[in-house]
Structure 1
Amino acid sequence: MASRQPAWHQPEKLPGVELPPLQIYNSLTRKKNDFVPLDPQGKKVTWYACGPTVYDISHLGHARNYVSTDIIRRILRDYFDFEVKFVMNITDVDDKIIIRARQRYLLSQFKSKHSTFDDATFQETHTAWKAYVVKNLGLVPEHTTTGDFKTASELAYKNVIEDKSLDGTTAPSEVEAKIKMHIRTAQAAADGLEAFSASRSTPQDELYAKVDDHYEKLFFEDMQALNVLDPDEITRVTEFIPQINTFVEKIIDKGFAYATGEGNVYFDIDAFEKNGNAYCRLEPQNRGNQELLKDGEGGLSKKRDDKRSKNDFALIKKSMPGEPAWPSERWGPSRPGWHIECHGLSDPRADYGYSQVNQIPDKTCIVKVLTRNSGGVDLMFPHHDNELAQSEAYWLGEKGCSASNHTWVRYFLHMGHLSIRGQKMSKSLKNFTSIREALAVGEDGTPAWTSRMVRIVLLLGSWKDGVEITEGLVSIAKGWEEKITNFFLKAVDIELSSNDTANNQPSPSNPLSIALDKAKKETDDALCDSFNTPLVMQAISNLVTEANSAISNDSNADTTSLLSIAHWITRIITIFGLNGSVSPNTATIGWEGVSIPIPAQPVIYSLSQIRDEVRRQARAKAVVPEVLEKLALQPLPATPTPENQSYVTAYQTFQTQLKTALAQSVGIETELLQLCDSLRDTVLWDQDIYLEDRDPPLPALVRPLDANMKAARADKERVAEEKRLAKERRLAEEATKKAAMAEKAKVQPQDMFKTDEFAEWDENGVPTKLKGGDDLPKSRRKKLEKEWKAQKVAHDKWKSDQK
């Protein structure tokens, strides 16, 4: 029987509550819907997100999902002022996790059996390690030891490690992912065994720690490195097994699930649809897709063939030997299936209990579990479709739930995939799988990616669409970041070097005020349109262009309006998570990397102004000693402290050098320019401060050094050093050649051919006969005569030089 598609009920506006005109693209309806929270006051938003399956290290695909989720969460909280309750589950009994769970289970059994790690324990462990490698990493030679495992595995699985398929011809799949997991597991054990071999006194707990994994901890460390907010609540499947079992029992009692003699419980799709319910609401086009269904059931479920229909999915799985198991009177030792996990992860104290429903005027039932659910687009089918089916089956017929609407969740958000094009990647497009690799600092002192760059790339695209990382996209993102950074630098410089403008109000008719109002309106419209961040990024860029134009055309541009623009942009980029843990209400302009240290500011800005005037006069060749002498005597703008002492020393040293230079009567302009360059390129550079000279009348821009500037200077110095060394080699070669020619010139031309090769010579010493008595060929004689003449010239010159 074909299932009907029930009408989706758009929640009515809340009486007496003014909500923002926010619309969100809803995977349930495949269109944008008005966003109306469950909360009668319209403030509280309950959000449940499918968390990670923590069986391996996190990759950029995870970053795409959780960073995009974090961006939307921040916008709801900090822009629209909703009170967001964000709950995330940790999947710890999924089939991929079971592989890890078995390992942890066996490790626990091993530790309880062996109270000490002695030689016998070492031998038993080493034998087990060998067996593990042989079984799971067959390409690694059997004679491989723990000490050379790293090299052997890298050679054997070179393609896999380089993010290719095993044969190197296609993209990697689940097979390659498991190989990587086995390599890491075997390497961790090898490290532990090597540590024991190196030091028999290594504490037992330290040895076991080397072979245990902590992927959940690593996941949250990666999320923090990406500036992703921690969840308000974290739930784990294993903490809610009784609730999950009770949930499943109710579905069985309603006739929508069945237990088998094998100890498994399956959801009965036919029974569910015959009752008039809809199945596969999110991705109806994938209904019956056996490949996706098998993936959803898990690799350890391939031998489970006790289902009534091949489309039915597991709610409870019988635990195999070595797997974690929980008791059940109805179906025996078992563990939850993947799709049922999210239906027991609830905290009644936080108003997430499944026992509560909310009656609304049209008498339809809205389950008071969450306003929205989210995850990657790959979770739509079968995971979220199955979640919907089993939840709606549970609520069907419950008090307050009509037969036509027993909705579990109002809004489903699914983040698009992230992909990286090409096999051979440049540094900026490194085909890594690990977030840690992406953020790690390279040999040149800079990371392939930064947390900010990851966010900018994602903000430039729609959260619900796929993102393909290309050189063009990376270039656009870097250009956007550089443009905003440079504007912030100018704004901070204006704020710190200009008079107090805090009490000044820009005129509404001022062009910059008009541009700011336009950007605010565009931003509000874009964010209300399902969080359209690409349009906001463009609005910010356009606003910065107008501000930069005002600064360039008029050094005395309206500073109040410029600073208002800078503060507003700071607020928006902070809401987007581009400014670390800073509050969106910060009074500080910009993001990290646009301000020099606070203790340095009064001293360095005053010093920069002195240098500006010295440099201006020197370049104009119009030095006025009386003016510069006053600057050389200008008092310190701050009291010396341990925190600012290095900056004070730079200030006082420059003044002393300025006095010395002014005492000269010749070449004073050159001396002053060299003094200014030294302050910029050496003194302040060594304190991570740079004075970026600009065309008059603009003053030098005071800015902190960043990794890219340091890397650029290092590259420049490397090139210069290579040129110097090349010149030295060239000069050395020329000197050697010249010395050889000088030594050769000492020989008299009459003696230069007196060798065993010839038998007779003429009066000048040019050969006439070969050793055997034959006449020298005319062509050969002509050549030797030419050489003789050249030698005579060189010898005569040598003799002249000697005199």
Structure 2
Amino acid sequence: MATQARTQPPWKEPQSSIPPKLKVWNSLTRTKNDFIPIDPEGKEVKWYSCGPTVYDDSHLGHARNYVTIDILRRIMAGYFNFNLKFVQNVTDVDDKIILRGRQQHLLAKFKAENPKLTKQVLETTVRAFDAYVKKNLPLLSQDLRPEDFNKESSGKYAHVIAGKSLDGIGPPTDEEAKIKMHLKTAGSAATALLASSNLTQTDVNEFYTGAEDVLLPYLDSLHGSDIDSEDRSIFTKLTQKFEARFNEDMRSLNVLDPDVVTRVTEYGPQIVMFVEKIVENKYGYQTSDGSIYFDIDSFEKTPGNHYARLEPWNRNNKDLQADGEGALTKKPTEKRGDADFALWKSSKPGEPAWTSPWGPGRPGWHIECSAMASDVLGSQMDIHSGGIDLCFPHHDNELAQSEAHFSHKEGGHQWVNYFLHMGHLSISGSKMSKSLKNFITIREALARGDWTARSLRIIFLLGGWHDGVEITDDLRKAGSSFESYVTNFFYKVRDLEQHPNTNASGAEDERLRKLFEAAKERLHSALADSFDTPTALRAISGLITEYNSTDKSGLSDAVVFDIAKWITRIVRIFGLDGSADPNDGTTGWYGIDIPTEAKQFVYAAARERDEVRQHAIAGDLSDSVLASIIAKDRFVPQQDASAAPYAEVLSSFQENLKTLAEKKAPAKEFLALCDKLRDLDLWNLGVYLEDRENSHAMVRPIDSELRAARDQKEAIARQKREAKEKREREEAERRAKLAEQAKIDHKEMFKTEEFSAWDLDGMPTKDAKGEDVPKSKMKKLKKEWEKQRKLHEDYLKGIGAA
């Protein structure tokens, strides 16, 4: 068996008379293969993607998976023109969901029965704390009291708390991340218990919030088996809520809806039939409790069948096998092989159940995808996708059981032609996980402004889709730089649409068109090479660089617009422009345009301002010139309220120009008015006029980059102003203090308890003990006396008393 596990299983390359359009990295072969659809015409592509397990909000790690799959999906459909049938499941029943639904139901019931902090509540929580610590933090004392938790845990788990491995030698792993989570959970409960004596009855929710994560498993251990398994609402209330929230999150990230959605709870009969066929083919067996297990040994004895084709090196990994069987699975005694996995689980008390020939039960985790995908797509599909962590055991088990289902004894049925696995997302080296509770939810990240749908997608485009992506400051900067680069290019194209370059010589056209064709070829080669989006983005930014460095006087508008339409099409195919159609022939992406209702007024104001500034700087802004400028823009009063603020800005600017003209104002006042239009009037309406040397001002919306630059400029100005005010304040205080000091008579200044005798000028001669003042000290006192004498005499002269 070990030798067989190391042998690369055969992969049957699909056959087609149509030349392949691309190569894809295929997890089945762990290499790049020509992508050849099952469809004889090479157009239809059947694709199944593992969807969410809906028991909590989705986090940025999920965004990495689903956004990246969406990118590949869009490229295949929008760029390579395949007709996709994209199926995605929703796992709305499994061990995690059963546990979470049951636990939350029991906690809600406990809180409803105990709305006040009673002795019973506290005693139950202490027992829950004890049980949690004993199970999850074995280095701590078995009889640990909540009040001793912080001290003992900081000693026993010092290395983990310090960010090291448990033994303090190697780097931390997921195991240390789990320990940190358990320390946090137990610590929160200990804090709640210690604070309980000071809490009022109105603070009961605060107590439950702190103790919740130890109460959940404890209450389930006591009462989980008492749950009515016929009451599906206990579980569907949870799954329906989080399925809806998952869909909201995906749409907020501009992820396309699947063509078909399948739910496990809607596929009970089909799953039973799928399992029956596997048993009929002698690849599954029943245990005495009514569970059905997959027989790996029987499967591999049939020529052509292989188990763990995706990750053969993990086939004996006990931890991964246990994770695949689920948290509610007790170690069976009747399995024929340790690695055999559940196809159908006999439902225990407190678990939902479906009717089956083997008694009430529920699907194993892996069988759901096999049954649902095959029901919609048939006995074979082109693509199966999911996160890299699903390779083993989930996808390897799917493969084995599906090939067993469709096997006709000669073996070797190829259920999936191409497996596409998305790499992990990590932040600061830590992989996000629901089970580790170290994640940032998608909605939190978007609401806080950490990311936008576009900026996050660009980050994923900058990394290889099947490679891990770690979000670092450098990667953030690279993503922001690309977005700004493309945005600024589109600003220039918009400006060119408003101000055509009719005098271009065309001398640069041929050179830039050649570079354009080279960029298209580079991008095509990149996408055809297993969706190499980092290289594709470099092709786009490189072409923009060539445009920026081109002498615009020699470049025809038509060339620029062709480039802009192509870039627009590609970034829309990548999903960077909302739901905009990649093929509608327009240019730009969302965020580069000012409101439609603003355009006629803003562009008129910008044009008038340009002319006023030009003439004011040249010193020839006469009344007739100014009247000619204003006369070009006469608008019918607008009834649309949304346009009114922009019309008012233009009108006010024109009236202020007339007022300055009437009073024969100098040029600097006209220029100040132009600055006010840019920096205040239009800025407050979300519009900016970007002044450029020897050219008209470019009209653009105010974005986060502009706001940040202005905030920084204002912060610097504020710091300078505050520093100046501080200096002036300190100087005023110094002068005031000096003025008060000047009022003191120098002949009286030393007549204090420190001395006992003085001369006629008020200089001390004896100290408090009657001893002579030392000569060294007298020298110092004399200097002070002379300084004060001059100061006081100047004061007397100032008040006319000298």
Band of TM-score, shorter chain:
0.7 to 0.9
Secondary structure class of the residue paired with 1:676 = helix
Match of 1:390 in 2: 401
Aligned partners of 1:375 and 1:415 also within 8 Å: yes
For 1:459 and 1:133, locate their aligned partners in 2 and report how far apart those are by CA, in whole Å.
Answer: 49
Q: CA deviation at 1:509?
A: 6.1
Per the alignment, residue 82 of structure 2 pairs with 82
Corresponding residue of 1:470: 472
Q: What secondary structure does 1:371 align onto? A: strand
TM-score (norm 2): 0.82
Q: Which residue of 2 aligns with 1:534?
A: 534
Q: For 1:532-571, list aligned pairs within 5 A.
A: 532-550=532-550, 553-555=551-553, 557-571=555-569
Question: What does residue 649 of structure 2 align with?
Answer: 650
Shift of 1:798: 0.7
- 2:593 is matched with which residue? 595
2:11 is matched with 8
Instruction: Tell me which residue corresponds to 2:218.
Output: none
- 1:340 Cα deviation (Å)? 0.8
Corresponding residue number in structure 2 for 1:406? 413
**What residue number does 1:759 align with?**
756
Counterpart residue type for residue 461 of structure 1: G
User: In the alignment, residue 649 of structure 2 is paired with which amino acid?
Assistant: A
- Alpha-carbon distance in structure 1 between the residues aligned to 2:129 and 2:703: 45
**Structure 2: distance between partners of 1:126 and 1:602:** 72
Give a deviation string over 1:449-475, Cα, whole Å, max 9, x none: 222111111111221122222222222
Contact 2:509 2:559 in 1 (8 A): no
Aligned pair in 2 of structure 1 residues 560, 630: CA closer, same or farther (>3 Å)?
same
2:302, 2:374 → 1: CA distance? 31
Q: Of residues 241, 244, 248 in structure 2, which corresponds to 1:221?
A: 248
Shift, 1:56, TM fit: 2.5
Matches within 5 A, 1:123-522: 131=124, 135=128, 168-169=163-164, 170=172, 173-174=177-178, 194=205, 214-276=241-303, 277-330=305-358, 332-346=359-373, 352=377, 354=378, 367-368=379-380, 370-397=381-408, 403-421=410-428, 432-441=439-448, 447-498=449-500, 510-522=510-522
Q: Deviations over 1:630-650 (max 9, x none)?
A: 113322367634232211211
Q: Kindly provide the CA deviation profile for residues 715-756 of structure 1, in whole angstroms up to 9, marking residues without a partner as x.
A: 432343343334333322322221121122112211222223
Instruction: Please state whether the residue corresponding to 2:32 is helix, strand or coil.
Output: strand
Q: How many residues align?
A: 727
Q: Is 2:506–2:554's contact at 8 Å kept on the other side of the alignment? A: no
Residues 137 and 183 in structure 1, CA contact (< 8 A), matched pair in contact too:
no
Describe the SS at the equivalent of 1:474.
Answer: helix
Match for residue 725 of structure 2 among 725, 728, 731: 728
> Structure 1 residues 50, 377: closer, same or farther in 2, change over 3 A?
same
Distance 1:378 1:184, change over 3 A: farther
Partner of 1:617: 615
Partner of residue 713, structure 1: 710
Cα offset, 1:483, TM superposition: 0.6
Deviation per residue, 1:557-576 (Å, 9 max, x gap):
31111111111111110110
Moved more, 562-571 or 298-307: 298-307
User: Matches of 1:227 and 1:382 in 2, distance apart?
Assistant: 30
1:481 partner amino acid: E
Kindly provide the amino acid, as one letter, of the partner of residue 423 in structure 2: G
Contact residue 20 and residue 528 of structure 1 kept, 8 A = no
CA distance in 2, matches of 1:396, 1:631: 83
Structure 1 CA distance for aligned equivalents of residues 388 and 583 of structure 2:
33
Relative to 1, partners in 2 of residues 1:340 and 1:179: Cα closer, same or farther, differing over 3 Å?
Answer: farther
Report the alpha carbon displacement of residue 623 of structure 1 after superposing the two structures with TM.
4.1
Q: 1:493 to 1:772 in 2, by over 3 A?
A: same
SS where residue 616 of structure 1 aligns? helix
Q: Cα distance 1:28–1:772, how it changes in 2: closer, same or farther (>3 A)?
A: closer
Q: Percent identity?
A: 47
SS at match of 2:416: coil
Aligned mates of 1:626, 1:450 — CA distance in 2: 50
AA in 2 matched with 1:12 = Q
Task: Considering fraction of residues, name the structure with more helix.
Answer: 2
Contact 1:488/1:589 (<8 A) preserved: yes
Change (3 A) 1:318 1:580: same
- Give yes or no for the alignment of 1:43 onto 2:70: no
Is the CA contact (8 Å cut-off) linking 1:126 and 1:193 kept in structure 2?
no
Give the distance between the partners of 1:801 and 1:424, measured in 2 at CA.
Answer: 76
Contact 1:392 1:408 in 2 (8 A): yes
Q: How does 1:95-114 map to 2 (within 5 A)?
A: 95-103=95-103, 106=106
Deviations 1:308-359 (A, max 9, x none): 11111111222233222223232x22221111111222585xx53x4xxxxx
CA contact (8 A) 2:487 2:592 kept: yes
Deviations 1:636-675 (CA, angstroms, capped at 9, x unpaired):
3676342322112111221222223334556x22112111
1:46, CA displacement in angstroms? 1.6
Shift of 1:126: 11
Q: Report the counterpart of residue 802 of structure 1 in structure 2.
A: 799
Deviations 1:111-163 (A, max 9, x none): 9xxxxx9x8674699967984685269799xxxxxxxxxxx9x999999xxxx
2:229 equivalent in structure 1: none
Q: Take 1:716 and 1:456, find their aligned partners in 2: how far apart are those partners? A: 28
TM-score, normalising length: structure 1: 0.82
Q: Per-residue deviation at 1:440?
A: 2.6
8 Å CA contact 1:264–1:318 kept in 2: the answer is: yes
RMSD: 3.8
Q: 1:69: how far off?
A: 0.3
Residue 261 to residue 576, structure 1, CA distance change in 2 (3 Å): same
Tell me the distance in 2 between the aligned counterparts of 1:726 and 1:456: 41
Asked if the contact 1:750/1:766 (under 8 Å) is kept, the reply is: yes
Q: Are residue 72 (structure 1) and residue 72 (structure 2) matched?
A: yes
Paired position in structure 2 for 1:361: none
Once the two structures are TM-superposed, the CA of residue 689 in structure 1 deviates from its matched residue by 0.2
Residue in 2 aligned with 1:364? Answer: none
What's the offset of the Cα at 1:797? Answer: 0.8
Which amino acid is the alignment partner of residue 13 of structure 1?
A: S
SS of the equivalent of 2:306 reads: coil
Distance change >3 Å, CA 10–CA 756, structure 1 → 2: closer
For 1:137 and 1:233, the matched residues in 2 are separated by 47
Q: Which amino acid aligns with 1:92?
A: D
Question: 1:61 is matched by which residue type in structure 2?
Answer: G
State how far apart, in whole Å, the 1-side matches of 2:252 and 2:705 are: 20
Structure 2 counterpart of 1:746, from 737, 743, 748: 743
Unaligned 5+ runs, structure 2: 134-146, 165-171, 193-200, 209-233, 433-437
1:20, 1:80 within 8 Å by CA — same for their partners in 2?
A: no
**Contact 2:597–2:643 (CA<8 Å) still a contact in 1?**
yes
Indicate which of 570, 583, 586 corresponds to 2:584: 586
Following the alignment from structure 1 to structure 2, what is the Cα–Cα distance between the partners of residues 68 and 191?
Answer: 46
> Partner residue of 1:200?
none
Match of 1:359 in 2: none
Listed as ranges, the matches of 1:692-707 within 5 Å are 692-696=690-694, 698-707=695-704
User: Residue type of the partner of 2:650?
Assistant: Y
Letter in 1 for 2:92: D
Distance 1:776 1:511 in 2: 94
Higher alpha-carbon deviation: 25-34 or 699-708: 25-34
Is contact 1:139–1:157 with CA below 8 Å preserved after alignment?
A: no
Contact 1:414 1:464 in 2 (8 A): yes
For 1:191 and 1:465, the matched residues in 2 are separated by: 50
Q: CA deviation at 1:438?
A: 2.3
- Cα drift, residue 84 of structure 1: 1.4
1:688: how far off? 0.3
> 1:6 touches 1:404 (CA, 8 Å); kept in 2?
no
Match of 1:146 in 2: none
